Amino acid sequence: MTISAKSAAILFLFGCISWSSASAQKTDGLRSSGRDWWKHAVFYEIYPRSFADSNNDGVGDLRGIASKLDYLKGLGVDAIWISPCFPSPQVDFGYDVSDYENIDPMYGTLADFDFLASEAKKRNIHIILDFVVNHTSDQHKWFLDSKSSRTSAHRDWYIWRDGKGSGQPPNNWVSTFGGPAWKFDPTTNQWYYHFFYPEQPDLNWRNPAVQAAMFDVTRWWYKRGVSGFRLDAVDTLFEDPNLKDNPVRRPGKNDFGDPFLENKYNTKLPEVHDVLRGLRKIANEYDAVLIGETWTANVAELDEYYGKGNDELQLPMDFLFTMVNKLSPAEFRKQIAEVNAASGWPTFVISNHDIRRSYDRYGDGKHNDQIAKLMAALYLTLRGTPILYYGEEIGMKTTPPTRLEDVKDPIGRKGWPGEKGRDGERTPMQWNDSANAGFSAAKPWLPVPDTYKTHNVADEAKNPDSILAFYKRVLSLRHSNKALLDGDYKALNESDSNVLSYLRVHNDQAVVVVLNMSATPQRSILPLKANGFASAKRLLASGNSSLQGSVVSLPPYGVFIGQLAK
């Protein structure tokens, strides 16, 4: 099973926007810079180990990121989300934080962070940090104190319980990363709970002291210039205090040899919304944004993360969109319509550091570059905020390890060969065609995919037909077109099973997007009159897509984007 499907499976078990009418809207061109700045912004996820290595030790760092800000600005990026760069034993590559208010020496120092923040500010690029809210590292001073004795000051900061009997954990919960979700600690003869690795003990969010300390972490970073957080694994914050056993979802065993349980009593508890409201209140004081890692079973569940009074997450990521794992106009149409009908602003992603890259998830092996442009045209022209994953814009492919001994991600070692882990989507950024793709002078921590000779920033920047050139054009259009930024979404030609088309309509302006999701040429008739428009003109196209009157002709996987006029 791939991690995309797996994440979904694993983590499952686990109009109009009206927030703050009081906030004034300022603009930089068409970019918003008031409290709602994130609505018009383009976000870009950086996996810091793999982006750019300034000190040539084989691992990326903050100075490396700073050196690429001009590239990101040129691409059309307004905000970077940096996956965890805090001190960490790196068991889960930073998602096991041992100090929330510092930088891991591997990535630099707080002074390097300040330098990055000031350079980003000069370019009007916001910095978003990754806040691992569910758990800390087992090396965090809070946990070290917590485990030291049953009466320690931090004992109740984590979930400690007696076992059911000798050698028996408190209940049947399993870790999403394999094995029991409880670890016995002989110092105090109790078990502690960990939804992820044993080195990632869950915080006890029912303890007000935990809430206060974690809320303070956000203030600390806001004061240092951070514009928001991506909240990790929010649905796992609370557990049933009675620790009821989870029901079995289906017979059999997963790749880790564990039963398939429904995470009924340890995920998605309603208390999470109180925490999100608390975090949002603080975020509002700093005009900051909260992005959620929100794996949901359906849009109704996703909708809850906006909060009943639009007072929780501004940008809960719509992972249901990433689960449309084929070029199906009908399935995308359905998903887009549903998320548009939700009560908040949609957030689109097509890949990230836990999901196989979109280049090969959608690619057919023959038209992958065209398909990469098609997918860009889709998620960058929808009503909502897109989050790019580094390397998406140059067509980086997933490169999973082929031998167990090469696997770095622990879940890949544990679940091999069914589960190969997430190394494949975390390989070094391909900057040019020199050694190590220009990422580092040293051997990179993960191997560079063999496609770096054909898919790299330097070469694609020179080629007007490249995926990178296409991303730049779509993003520049998006930033300058009111209909693409704020227009309503309206599906067109809904019975077409090959071509996905839609309008973005803003007052009397409209943009039409026509995407051929098939391997054969297609013709599509634009229903101009029916929508109150008289004519269309080409804004952007891929391949030799063309327009005659109201008929768009598209090559396989071709894209046509046009402006409609009254």
Point out which residues bind ligand NOJ (CB under 6 A): 92, 95, 132, 196, 232-233, 293, 353-354
- CB environment 290-323: b (16+ within 10 A), e (fewer): bbbbbbbeebebbbbbbbeebbbbbbbbbbbbbb
Residue nearest to ligand NOJ (CB): 95
Alpha helices in 3-109 (DSSP H): 3-13, 62-67, 69-75
Concatenating the DSSP letter of every residue in 350-373 gives S-BTTB--HHHHH--SSSHHHHHH
| Backbone angles phi and psi of 380, in degrees to 5 | -95, -5
Q: Which is nearer to ligand NOJ, 84 or 363 (CB)?
A: 84
Closer CB to ligand NOJ, residue 202 or residue 369? 202
Phi and psi at 8, nearest 5°, equal -60, -50
Measured distance CA(404)–CA(406) in Å, rounded: 5
Rg of the Cα atoms in the chain: 24
Nearer CB in complex with ligand NOJ: 95/502: 95
Calpha distance 120→78 (Å, rounded)? 9
Peptide bond into 417 cis (omega under 30): yes
Least distance to ligand NOJ, CB of residue 92, Å? 5
Helix 467-480 crosses helix 368-379 at what angle (to 10 degrees)? 10
* CB of 43 or CB of 196, closer to ligand NOJ: 196
162 is catalytic: no
* Euclidean distance between the first and the last CA atom of the chain, given in angstroms as a whole number: 50
Task: CB nearer to ligand NOJ: give 33 or 322.
Answer: 322
Is position 232 annotated as part of the catalytic site? yes
Q: How far is residue 473's CA from residue 92's CA, in Å, rounded to a whole number?
A: 36
Residue from 324, 325, 329, 338 nearest 496 by CA: 329
3-state DSSP call for residue 181? coil
Nearest to 225 by CA among 65, 72, 118: 118
Shortest distance (Å) from residue 46 CB to ligand NOJ? 13
Instruction: Decide whether 132 or 474 has the Cβ nearer to ligand NOJ.
Output: 132
CB 42 within 8 A of CB 478: yes
**In the bound complex, what is the minimum distance in angstroms from residue 59's beta carbon to ligand NOJ?**
17
- Helix (H, G, I), strand (E, B), or coil: what is residue 212? helix
Q: Judge whether 236 and 134 are in contact, CB under 8 Å.
A: yes
Of the candidates 232, 369, 409, 423, the residue annotated as catalytic is 232
Our CB check for ligand NOJ shows the closer of 196 and 238 to be 196
Question: How near is the Cβ of 177 to ligand NOJ at its closest, in Å?
Answer: 7
Residue 135 vs 504, nearer CB to ligand NOJ: 135
Phi then psi for 253, rounded to 5 degrees?
A: -130, 145
Q: Known catalytic residues?
A: 232, 285
